[in-house]
């Protein structure tokens, strides 16, 4: 079973094309819908999904989802492999903000803080997340994005799951959200590293390649 964990602002819908690709290969997958109401809530949701997924679980985490999975998968021997897709593979004590600012990206200047939380400037979405897609994609997806909580520090507390579970990191070399240099810094912690000439959202443009990679980790 494959468990797919989306990143900040997004939803389970971002995996739709990948789920179809995996289904065509006869591989079951569940795309988790994070509540985005706080880190603890997100971790609890993912841990529950993993526990319900049976044995031989492969997890693919995108962006912020890497922080969530690194906590949620702790102590669960059924998880066989973790795939970090342009994701935060943080060490104990590290936080997302510091990692993001190691080499500021266009995302860092596109963030906006409002009464509902942290959002991304709609006029920058194509540039930041979906540069490989037609600009119309960003216009459609803008309505589906949700704010992130303001009061969540995003700190990796405790030993992350990837220290004991085999992992693969997919570096996206044209990512405008998490800089490629920062991704490579984190990818050094993974057992295997793959580099793609891609933006921050290859689940939209490379679902077939992503399905091939995930099934090879089973």
Give pLDDT tens digits for 99-153: 999 998 999 999 999 889 999 999 999 999 999 999 999 999 999 999 999 876 6
Q: How many CB atoms lie within 10 A of CB 58?
A: 23
d(CA 102, CA 123): 24
Give yes or no for a contact between 72 and 97, defined as CB atoms under 8 angstroms apart: no
Active site residue 63: yes
Q: How far apart are CA 84 and CA 63, in angstroms?
A: 8
> CATH homologous superfamily of domain 2-102+154-215?
Alpha/Beta hydrolase fold, catalytic domain (3.40.50.1820)
CA distance 21 to 164: 29
The pTM (predicted TM-score) of the whole model is 0.96
Q: DSSP character for 14?
A: G
- Residue of 23, 63, 70, 98 with catalytic role: 63
Q: How far is CA 75 from CA 39, 70, 80, 162, in A?
A: 18, 11, 12, 11
| pLDDT tens digits for range 146-198 | 999 987 667 888 999 999 999 999 999 999 999 999 999 999 999 999 999 99
Q: What's the pLDDT at 58?
A: 97
Domain ranges of the chain: 2-102+154-215
């Amino acid at each position: 079973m494959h468990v797919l964990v989306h990143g900040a602002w997004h939803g389970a819908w971002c995996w739709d094309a990948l789920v179809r690709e995996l289904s065509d290969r006869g591989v079951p997958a569940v795309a988790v819908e994070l509540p985005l109401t706080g880190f603890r809530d997100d971790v609890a949701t993912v841990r529950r999904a993993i526990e319900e997924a049976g044995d031989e679980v492969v997890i693919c985490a995108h962006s912020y989802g890497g922080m969530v999975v690194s906590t949620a998968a702790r102590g669960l021997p059924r998880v066989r492999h973790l795939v970090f897709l342009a994701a935060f593979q943080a060490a104990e004590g590290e936080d997302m903000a510091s990692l993001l600012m190691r080499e500021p990206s266009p995302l860092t200047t596109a963030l906006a803080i409002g009464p509902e939380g942290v959002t991304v400037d709609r006029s920058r979405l194509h540039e930041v997340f979906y540069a490989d897609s037609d600009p119309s994609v960003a216009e459609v997806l803008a309505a589906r994005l949700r704010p992130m909580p303001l009061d969540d520090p995003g700190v990796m507390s405790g030993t992350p799951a990837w220290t004991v579970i085999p992992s693969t990191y997919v570096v996206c070399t044209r990512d405008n959200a998490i800089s490629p240099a920062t991704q490579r810094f984190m990818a050094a912690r993974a057992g295997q590293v793959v580099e793609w000439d891609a933006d921050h959202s290859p689940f939209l443009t490379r679902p077939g390649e992503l399905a091939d990679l995930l099934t090879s980790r089973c």
